[in-house]
Amino acid sequence: MKILLVDGTVFGAKTGALLRQVQQYIKEYNSELELEILYFSDLKHQILDGSPLNEDMQMMIDKFEKADGYIIATPIYQASIPGVLKNAFDMISPKAMRYKPVSMVANGGTYQHHLVVENQLRPILDYFRCLVTPNYVYTHASHFDADNNIVDDEIKNRLRELARVFVQYCKLSQLLPKEPVDNH
Ligand SMILES: Cc1cc2nc3c(=O)[nH]c(=O)nc-3n(C[C@H](O)[C@H](O)[C@H](O)COP(=O)(O)O)c2cc1C
């Protein structure tokens, strides 16, 4: 199975650090999963406005469509997810992520915005009919050192648990045929 780990930040390094930690834990639970990190900061983003899509956006859509599962890591911007992440979801076919496992991790500058994950990111993934794991991890600057290494052991445990559950959701998703019996 191909797992796409998406780093939705365009500036910093904390969500990338979270993703690499999750990547390591997933590998420990199942070394057969094919893991790839997609850093949004590497892409030339283009707003969805009807113009032909550039190569980076086509490559991004292709990676989303070919993946069998996802870890979505997002910073919090203006009490929401970044525009580039919403824009990416807008470019993907509504069926591309259907019945595929997803876990969410997020980082914010304040503790107050952890419900952005529950109230804004999860509904989008529910719309795509993803198999979203019940656990997600929200971090804050105080969980990192000055070099953006995760220094909080409880956060590491929560990321490990998220990886453990995600790997089981990957197995579950293989039992569920992707072809629906309805036309919806
Ligand atoms: C444009 C912008 C808006 C932001 N808005 C919020 C916010 O509303 N709430 C919050 O908790 N943090 C906010 N932050 C802080 C970011 O969430 C934080 O810098 C980011 O998670 C750090 O992760 P990164 O190093 O991977 O970019 C904002 C940062 C930027 C650049």
Which residues, 6 or more positions from 154, have their beta carbon under 8 angstroms from its beta carbon? none
What percent of the chain is predicted at pLDDT more than 90? 95
In the predicted model, is pLDDT for residue 178 greater than 90? no
10 Å Cβ neighbour count for 54?
13
Which residues, 6 or more positions from 39, have their beta carbon under 8 angstroms from its beta carbon? 7, 16
**11: nearest Cα among 106, 71, 75:** 75
- Confirm if 18 and 107 have CB atoms less than 8 A apart: yes
Nearest residue (by CA) to ligand 1, atom 28, is 77
User: Using one digit for the tens of pLDDT, what is the confidence trace for 87-124?
Assistant: 999 999 999 999 999 999 999 999 999 999 999 999 99
Of 9, 76, 117, 119, which is best to mutate to test ligand 1, by the most ligand atoms within 8 angstroms of its C-beta?
A: 76
Fold of 2-175: Rossmann fold (3.40.50)
